[in-house]
Amino acid sequence: MQRVLLGMSAVALIASLSACADNDGPDQNAGATASADDSMAMSGPFGESEMRMDEAIMTAVGVNAADSWVRKIIEHHKGAVEMSRIVLAQNPSADVGMMAQQTIDKQTREIAELEKLIASGTPNPASGELYRPATMQMHEAMMGAKGADISETYLRKMLAHHQGAVAMSDVALANGASGAVRARIEKTKADQQKEVAMVEAMLRGEPMTASAPAARDPVASAPAARPAAPKPAPAKPAPARPTAEPAAQPEATPTCLPEHREAGHC
């Protein structure tokens, strides 16, 4: 009888443990889902855009490290364009609105230029893995960035976004990028560093620095020179007046002596 009771107790214990194990699984999954939802909620209206950008960057892989950079930075720029459109719809401050529009214009042009550099060939997954630490750090920093209002939140997220592009560029430069792609990487890094400095200044309360206008051609922009006034023609000398000839003096009539007159000589 005791053996029967012990057997029944063992079965009940196993069933209880099994039920506990089944209950733990759904709770863990629910916790993971809640954590992702909490991150997106903390990220505000940018959450879904940031998640899409992160996934697109992670899955973009090229034939080598340089080509992977090209493909990943295209997705990086697309993310900035989408986030900038989002903030423009949220009534941001004047400076942030100006920055967002400039970001859309500039990075749309850069995307078109980068697409011309995409290489053809079989993707090399190892080349994409080189960027994982930098892109993960950027994504975590962006998702955690939050400000007092939508404008500050956008600035803090874009700060992490630009810093991520600099880190990705460093990875490419350290892994054999050359030629036209290397020149593009160096330019992108320099541009993103300028953006970092500008955003940091804006977060300190300084006004946005607008892009400097293109330098004017000093020759084309110089005012047209006025034609020199014609020099007056040299005055023609007045015609010389004819010198009046002295009046002819009557010839002196010699005195005619009487005797000569009589002789018919005068």
Write out pLDDT tens, residues 14-28.
445 444 444 444 454
Asked if 114 contacts 77 with a C-beta cutoff of 8 angstroms, the reply is yes
pLDDT of 74 > 50? The answer is: yes
Tokens 């541009």 belong to residue: 191
pLDDT of 51 > 70? The answer is: yes
- Domain chopping of the chain, boundaries: 38-203
Task: Kindly give the residue spans of alpha helices, DSSP state H, lying in 91-178.
Answer: 94-115, 125-129, 132-144, 150-173
Three-class DSSP category at 4: helix
Output the pLDDT for position 41.
58
Q: How confident is the model at residue 218 (pLDDT cuts 50, 70, 90)?
A: very low
Q: Given 3.90.25.10, 3.30.70.380, 2.60.120.10, 1.20.1260.10, which CATH number is that of 38-203?
A: 1.20.1260.10
Output the pLDDT for position 72.
98
pLDDT of 185 > 80? The answer is: yes
Asked if 74 contacts 167 with a C-beta cutoff of 8 angstroms, the reply is no
Of 34-38, 41-45, 259-263, where does the model show the most confidence? 41-45
Task: Tell me the residue length of the chain.
Answer: 266
Condensed to tens digits (0 to 9), the pLDDT of residues 131-142 reads: 999 999 999 999
Q: Is the pTM of this model over 0.75?
A: no
Condensed to tens digits (0 to 9), the pLDDT of residues 79-112 reads: 999 999 999 999 999 999 999 999 999 999 999 9
- Is 109 exposed, middle or buried (CB count within 10 Å of its CB: 0-12, 13-18, 19+)? exposed
Condensed to tens digits (0 to 9), the pLDDT of residues 121-164 reads: 999 999 999 999 999 999 999 999 999 999 999 999 999 999 99
Output the pLDDT for position 262.
65
Instruction: Give the residue among 115, 133, 135, 118 at the shortest CA–CA distance from 62.
Output: 118
pLDDT of 256 > 80? The answer is: no
Output the pLDDT for position 110.
98
Q: How confident is the model at residue 209 (pLDDT cuts 50, 70, 90)?
A: confident
